[in-house]
Amino acid sequence: MINKIIKKIKEGQHFLITSHTKLDGDALGSELALYCMLSDLGKKAVIYNEDKTPDHYSFLPSAEKIANKLDDVSKFDVAFILDCSELERVGEKAKEIARIKTLINIDHHISNNGFSPLKLWDGQASSTGELIFRLFEKMRAKMSPEICTNLYAAILTDTGGFRYTNTTKDTLYAAGKLVENGADPQWISENIYENDSPVKIILMKKALETLSLDFQNQVGSLVVTKSALKESGATYEHTEGFVEIPRSVKGISVSILYTQLEDNYYKLSLRSKGKISVEKIAKKFGGGGHANAAACRIKGNIEVVKEEVLEAIKETR
Amino acid sequence: MINKIIKKIKEGQHFLITSHTKLDGDALGSELALYCMLSDLGKKAVIYNEDKTPDHYSFLPSAEKIANKLDDVSKFDVAFILDCSELERVGEKAKEIARIKTLINIDHHISNNGFSPLKLWDGQASSTGELIFRLFEKMRAKMSPEICTNLYAAILTDTGGFRYTNTTKDTLYAAGKLVENGADPQWISENIYENDSPVKIILMKKALETLSLDFQNQVGSLVVTKSALKESGATYEHTEGFVEIPRSVKGISVSILYTQLEDNYYKLSLRSKGKISVEKIAKKFGGGGHANAAACRIKGNIEVVKEEVLEAIKETR
């Protein structure tokens, strides 16, 4: 299969690269690494994402090339659909993209629905970035510092900084190789994790007031309300990483961040230390993700929502 | 030099292993890895530390073997002094330990004073754990899961979770090899970073109220007072990691945690994102450490202390 993909890369001239909405480091780093590799080969490539690039990923090499508009798809020979378990994850343009002659799906979600016959898929891989690293190794692509920086960022973020259960020897060897070829671990980590707006800390203070620790069920949570966001001058982006706070407490297995989207409507970010699959919990509410990190949305009063989630966790044990 | 150390290991029968006071993950992981290796070879080994093992490191394999008392040193052929730039760092027993026939210093502090002629020293190495990994590779020691867990913990903690500038390709390759031989990155990270007492979060809330961000000088700080500790039911151990909070803010280069030890007496933990060496700043106040992570103690009123530190930072630029 991987050889077929390499053949398509060699034969193709005009490539579309896309990924899911609610962009993360793995989606962006993977797209940009692929973009840099294709450019190095003298191919034409366009990155299209429905959502805008979050600020703290704008440092990634070639991030300024990402487009948020997609016009005519007829010019593309090949479309890379990265880090998507289903084609629909790319957003409103899914149907148009489906018309492109050759689709190639590179993904590591266990829930992948096999929408693309041509795929590089491994549910055990830490990240789509790690799969692209494998592809580049196989095709002996030139590992430029730009490519290495993008792939390092992809792997770093999808392993929670090499902390999740998906961190394997291959993940760390790949990271080592990327550093050997020009990725700077400190600079990448600083840009992603140490580049916050001060309002984030103000918001964190407010969120901490909602801390709930249920040791009997090993569930910890924080709530970010619309009013907390407003009062601290913060946006949804500033809640990133908050879900790690209850996770840090001894005896807590599942950590949840409830972010209020509307009155009686919450986005849930779920994290597990490994014993419980939060992907299974998110799936019950129409969401998805990985065993250790997942997300979903639930309508209802916060107390009712919390109760429903607790029931779902109990059923999953 | 490394061959001389290997010869001493082969010839010796009774080993003392020790490290600095104010134990950290690198000191403990390095000691325990060495202990496991010597035990595997059928040698007698004793680990002595002046300070007790912090709770969140008690999961390390063989941690229960560490002694906090040292009686007769005459029985030892060899003493390993790990992660110490000076012999005095081991504490009150330094002079007694100095009497042991052969001293071997394994260390990566740039400030190492060369107290031991027999040494494995590299100021560029991420950690003493990485140096012990090199030693074990060179002597083809059996890399048991216990050894790998201890060395992974050592490397992980001294690189701030692979985030500091000391993280190199060799660091990541070593981490990969340790995982290949049985270290579990998730489990180790969980024990070290996600095993906090809930009182830590209560203390964090209080500490956040003291947040100071000086963007002109790129300095951020938090203060933990004795009364904050008392009110939250926390101990000094619970302040670990707080210094990373101001460090996470964009535009902050140097982060400082002031922990009140007595009235008008503070312990400073300093972190840098790389541009400024906090080791130089700590040294001005009689402390030490590395370019990215250092510590010292200063007497005085908090406002005066802060002013003195700011002056020292300005001089270091």
pLDDT value at position B274? 81
Is the model's pLDDT at B49 over the cut of 90? Answer: yes
Q: What is the pLDDT of residues A226-268, one digit of tens each?
A: 999 999 999 998 998 899 999 999 999 999 999 999 999 999 9
Cβ–Cβ below 8 Å for B193 and A248? yes
CA-nearest residue of chain A to B181? A169
Instruction: Give the B window 254-273 contacts with A, CB below 8 Å.
Output: 273
CA-nearest residue of chain A to B164? A186
- What average pLDDT does chain B have? 95
* Second-level CATH architecture of B2-193: Alpha-Beta Complex (3.90)
Cβ–Cβ below 8 Å for B172 and A175? yes
* Exposed/middle/buried for residue B114 (C-beta within 10 Å: 0-12, 13-18, 19+): exposed
Count of CB contacts below 8 A, A vs B?
127
Cβ–Cβ below 8 Å for A169 and B180? yes
Q: What is the pLDDT of residues B210-244, one digit of tens each?
A: 999 999 999 999 999 999 999 999 999 899 889 99
Is the model's pLDDT at B55 over the cut of 90? Answer: no
Question: How far A124 CA sits from the closest chain B CA (Å)?
Answer: 15
What integer is the mean pLDDT of A44-49? 98
Confidence category of residue A187, pLDDT binned at 50, 70, 90: very high
Cβ–Cβ below 8 Å for B185 and A163? yes
CA-nearest residue of chain A to B250? A195
Best interface-test mutation with B: which of A250, A278, A292 has the largest number of B CBs within 10 A? Answer: A250
- In DSSP terms, which residues pair with A298 in a beta bridge? A266
pLDDT value at position A7? 98
CA-nearest residue of chain B to A241? B248
pLDDT value at position A61? 98
Whether chain A has a CB inside 8 Å of the CB on B191: the answer is: no
pLDDT value at position B218? 96
- Bridging pattern class, strands B44-48 and B14-19: parallel
Q: What is the pLDDT of residues B265-304, one digit of tens each?
A: 999 999 998 889 999 999 999 998 888 899 999 999 999 9
* Cβ-based contacts of A204 with chain B (< 8 Å): 208
What integer is the mean pLDDT of A277-297? 93
Residue B304's contacts (CB-CB under 8 Å, 6 or more residues apart) are none
pLDDT value at position B94? 97
Confidence category of residue A270, pLDDT binned at 50, 70, 90: very high
Least confident of A105-109, B65-69, B197-201: B197-201
Whether chain B has a CB inside 8 Å of the CB on A204: the answer is: yes
Is the model's pLDDT at B194 over the cut of 90? Answer: no
Confidence category of residue B317, pLDDT binned at 50, 70, 90: confident
In whole angstroms, how far apart are CA A59 and each of A27, A146, A149, B170, B175? 15, 11, 10, 25, 27
What integer is the mean pLDDT of A172-195? 96
Question: How far B102 CA sits from the closest chain A CA (Å)?
Answer: 36
pLDDT value at position A111? 87
In whole angstroms, how far apart are CA A307 and each of A223, A253, A263, A304, B143? 14, 17, 17, 5, 47
pLDDT value at position A316? 87
Domain ranges of chain B: 2-193, 198-316
pLDDT > 70 fraction of chain B, expressed in percent and rounded: 100
What ipTM was estimated for this complex? 0.89
Is the model's pLDDT at A275 over the cut of 90? Answer: no
pTM: 0.90
Task: Using alpha carbons only, give the angle B25, A185, B179 rounded to the nearest 5 degrees.
Answer: 50
pLDDT value at position B117? 95
Whether residue B164 contacts residue B244, with contact meaning beta carbons closer than 8 Å, is answered with no
Topology of domain B198-316, CATH: Diaminopimelate Epimerase; Chain A, domain 1 (3.10.310)
